[in-house]
């Protein structure tokens, strides 16, 4: 009876009422949703809080990759969130966000307030299932590496990227510009290939030519560039050496 009375006194005491919730690591997850989940699952008393139950509940929320919950007596709860970092949109029976490791973590809904995430580039050529394999993740990484070089070289300022295409045989292609020019880069030597693209792009602009595609995927001779101008159907592919 003494033990029961002591426990009852503690549970009735305002001293252990859950008063503060400290959250660290939130960038994308809505804080109000997190707090509402904490209140629904954890209760109002710090001694009632079961950390593992809260962690399991938080793990179901959007963007949560890992979570840790600690009780800090007498009245504080500390929550540390590790979020998925959106990198690309996967097109596979809908649109899905994936991070740089190829982990698909959220289905995008055009009717939901997720506008900022629609700005991520599309990644095509891989399904969600393929991204669970080492080969699929390696192909995705090639595409992200090519895009990282494209962005670092300032090329996106003139021709914004809209899509990254990956193919086991053809390698990586970037779809850029308002007209959707396909820049096929093959595999590796990204900076050299993109420098050739920049030179070709300048030359074409001087002649008023809007390319449908630029192929810079030759394995050894990067000066061998094929261009498909966006002209009439009777016009043929143009082949030439890239200007230095």
Q: Determine the Cα–Cα distance for residues 144 and 86; give it in Å rounded to an integer.
A: 12
Residue of 101, 103, 98, 104 whose CA lies nearest to 86: 98
Rounded average pLDDT over 37-44: 74
Rounded average pLDDT over 64-72: 91
Q: Which domains does the chain have, with CATH numbers?
A: 2-83 (3.10.20.310), 88-241 (3.40.50.11690)
Encode pLDDT of 186-238 as tens digits.
999 999 999 999 999 888 888 888 889 999 998 888 888 999 877 655 554 44
pLDDT at position 112 over 80: no
User: Which pLDDT score is estimated for 87?
Assistant: 92
């Amino acid at each position: 009876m003494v033990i029961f009375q002591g426990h009852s006194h503690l549970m009735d005491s305002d001293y252990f009422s859950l008063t503060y919730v400290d959250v660290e690591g939130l960038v994308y997850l809505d804080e109000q949703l997190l707090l509402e989940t904490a209140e629904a699952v954890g209760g109002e008393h710090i001694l009632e809080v079961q950390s593992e139950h809260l962690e399991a509940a938080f793990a179901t929320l959007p963007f949560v990759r890992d979570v840790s919950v600690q009780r800090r007596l007498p009245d504080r709860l500390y929550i540390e969130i590790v979020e998925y970092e959106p990198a690309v949109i996967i097109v596979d029976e809908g649109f899905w966000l994936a991070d740089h490791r190829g982990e698909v973590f959220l289905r995008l809904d055009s009717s939901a307030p997720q506008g900022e995430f629609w700005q991520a580039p599309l990644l095509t050529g891989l399904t969600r299932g393929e991204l669970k394999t080492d080969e699929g993740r390696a192909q995705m990484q090639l595409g992200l590496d090519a895009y990282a070089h494209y962005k670092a070289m300032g090329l996106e300022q003139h021709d914004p990227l809209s899509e990254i295409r990956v193919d086991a045989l053809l390698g990586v292609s970037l779809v850029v510009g308002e007209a959707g020019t396909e820049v096929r880069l093959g595999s590796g030597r990204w900076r050299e290939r993109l420098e050739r693209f920049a030179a070709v792009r300048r030359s074409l602009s001087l002649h008023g030519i809007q390319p449908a595609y630029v192929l810079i995927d030759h394995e050894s001779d990067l000066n061998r560039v094929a261009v498909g101008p966006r002209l009439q159907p009777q016009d043929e592919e143009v082949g030439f050496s890239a200007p230095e």
